[in-house]
Structure 1
Amino acid sequence: MPTPEKIEKLALPAGEPVMILKRRTFTKDHVPIEFAYGVHAARRFEWSYSFPLPD
């Protein structure tokens, strides 16, 4: 559940949950190249990922 600060910043109604995205991306040599942290209103956000699988 969101903090009062997040409720205000996201203009959430009372009791609305949030989804938190934490993502780290690395090169094939394990060097970090990206960090993402996002807080999203659950009813307004959807994730969809597609990854090819190696044989």
Structure 2
Amino acid sequence: MTETISSRMPTPEEVDILDLPSGEPVMILTRHTFTKNDVPIEFARGFHAASRFEWTYSFQLPDQ
């Protein structure tokens, strides 16, 4: 799985839907998920108000 997080200024439609104050950016989370044979099984893109969203990631590292 690959996730990419980016930000930009929102479109007028996003301002309305997310009820954003003037000048607030949106965060965009794009996810691509593949099987172990590299077959794509998911594509997702979410748009979030920057001031109301937090991402937390936990990773398990392989034994060294």
Tell me if both proteins adopt one fold, taking TM over 0.5 as the criterion.
yes
3-state DSSP of counterpart to 2:15: helix
Alignment partner, residue 37 of structure 1: 45
Give, in angstroms, the shift of residue 27 of structure 1: 1.2
Alignment partner, residue 24 of structure 2: 16
Structure 1 consecutive aligned stretches of length 4 or more whose deviation exceeds 4 Å: none
Superposition TM-score, scaled by structure 1 size:
0.91
Alignment partner, residue 62 of structure 2: 54
3-state DSSP of counterpart to 1:14: coil
Alignment partner, residue 35 of structure 2: 27
CA deviations over 1:12-48 (Å, ceiling 9, x no partner): 0100111001110111111111111000000000111
Identity %: 73
2:23 corresponds to which letter in structure 1? Answer: G
Superposed CA RMSD in Å reads: 0.8
Does 27-36 or 6-15 show the bigger shift? Answer: 27-36
Residue segments in structure 2 that go unaligned for 5+ positions in a row: 1-8
